[in-house]
Amino acid sequence: MPRMELIELDESKADWLPYAPAIKVHPGSEYVFLSGAIQPDDETELPDEIREQVRFVMGRHTEALAAHGLTWDDVVHVYEFLTDMRDTVDVHITMAEFTGDSGWKPANTLIGVNALGRPGARFELDVIAVRTTA
Amino acid sequence: MTPTQVRVPETDAAPFPAAVATGGDETFFWMSGATAIPLYHHHPHVDEECVLPDDIREQTRRVLATFDEVLEFNGLGWRDVVKVAQFLTDLRDHDIVQEAVTAHLAQHGAAPSTVVVGINALSAPGARLELEVVAVRPMEEES
């Protein structure tokens, strides 16, 4: 039995959504909760360009997942936090550079916020992943 | 095993419990957040799918109906929900939203743990409310 399943209520419209309406995770799974990945180093200049910011965050998360033996195909749920909703399309296009073409898509909640953990930060991603216990 | 509600005396008057505990052997259902627009809509968004009534009661009704559908599709009900997140663009809507959510969930005997957050914007320009839900099903009920 796969440890998790992508739930589509309407397969004919599945390609409308870049995220899953729901993800089902079976018992015996271990959760990995990742911290946010805004560049925390105040010495480094934060690029204003949204795609550069998304690439940094996604790169950090890719490394954190790999450190646990995981990939984006193991991600159950993400929160996307944006300071400017006009960035939404650019964010999704850039995230897709990292998430691969396996067809897996996590559940996703997208929220517009006032500010993020560092001045100038436009994008933050909260990630929950799952791995099967031995 | 039904998720166990945990209440602490100071918050007993709250419309939701202070915590909800799961048993450890459940199947989890992580659902994407939903506003009042149809669950299936195109990306990037197209304007005609994102037209919403301004009335918060109507938006709340539609969001709850969306989760009714997602839960039912998975053979679940609101009693299986352990966590609800409410994201509101205007906290002055909160009393109305909470009253509607509490009433709807009470019909199903449900009172999940709840977090309420006031935020800047949602994915559809006129959306005032987004709900997000986590539900569980006990292992013995899995086919």
Q: Which residues of A touch B138 (CB under 8 A)?
A: none
User: Is residue A93 less than 8 Å (CB to CB) from chain B?
Assistant: no
Is the confidence at residue B18, as pLDDT, over 90? Answer: no
pLDDT reported for residue B45: 94
pLDDT reported for residue A60: 94
Q: Residue A112's CB: how many other CB atoms inside 10 A?
A: 20
pLDDT reported for residue B9: 62
Domain boundaries along the sequence of chain A: 26-132
pLDDT reported for residue B25: 86
- Across the A/B interface, how many CB contacts are shorter than 8 Å? 94
Domain boundaries along the sequence of chain B: 29-134
pLDDT reported for residue B8: 66
**Which among B28, B39, B42 has CB closest to A9?**
B39
- Give how far Cα A52 sits from Cα of A45, A106, A121, B85, B105, Å: 12, 22, 11, 30, 43
User: Is residue A9 less than 8 Å (CB to CB) from chain B?
Assistant: yes
Q: Which residues of A touch B70 (CB under 8 A)?
A: 7, 9, 21-22
Helix (H), strand (E) at residue B100: helix B94-106
- Give how far Cα B110 sits from Cα of A42, A53, B15, B78, Å: 46, 41, 11, 6
The more confidently predicted of residues A10 and A45 is: A10
Q: Is the peptide bond before B44 cis (omega within 30 degrees of 0)?
A: yes
Q: What is the torsional sign of CA A9, A128, B118, A45?
A: negative
pLDDT band at A40 (very low <50, low <70, confident <90, very high): low
**Which among A10, A23, A113 has CB closest to B30?**
A23
pLDDT reported for residue A90: 97
CB contact under 8 A, A111 and B41: no
ipTM given for this complex: 0.91
- Smallest Cα distance from A67 to chain B, Å: 23
CB contact under 8 A, A22 and B123: no
CB contact under 8 A, A110 and B33: yes
Is the confidence at residue B21, as pLDDT, over 90? Answer: no
Q: What is the pLDDT of residues B88-118, one digit of tens each?
A: 999 999 999 999 999 999 999 898 999 999 9
The pTM assigned to this predicted structure is 0.92
pLDDT reported for residue A132: 72
pLDDT reported for residue B143: 56
Calculate mean pLDDT across residues A28-32: 90
**Burial category of A41 from C-beta neighbours within 10 Å (exposed 0-12, middle 13-18, buried 19 and up):** exposed
pLDDT band at A44 (very low <50, low <70, confident <90, very high): confident
pLDDT reported for residue B6: 74
Q: What is the pLDDT of residues B25-42, one digit of tens each?
A: 899 999 999 999 999 999
| Arithmetic mean of pLDDT over chain A | 92
pLDDT reported for residue A67: 94
* 3-state secondary structure (DSSP) of residue A85: helix
pLDDT reported for residue A95: 97
pLDDT reported for residue A1: 59
User: Is residue B57 less than 8 Å (CB to CB) from chain A?
Assistant: no
- Smallest Cα distance from B1 to chain A, Å: 14
In CATH, the architecture of A26-132 is: 2-Layer Sandwich (3.30)
Q: What is the pLDDT of residues A76-121, one digit of tens each?
A: 999 999 999 999 999 999 999 999 889 999 999 999 999 998 889 9
Q: Which residue of A has its CA nearest to B142?
A: A26
Calculate mean pLDDT across residues A39-55: 85
> How far is residue B112's CA from residue B95's CA, in Å, rounded to a whole number?
17
| Highest CATH level, class, for B29-134 | alpha beta
CB contact under 8 A, A22 and B29: yes
pLDDT reported for residue A134: 52
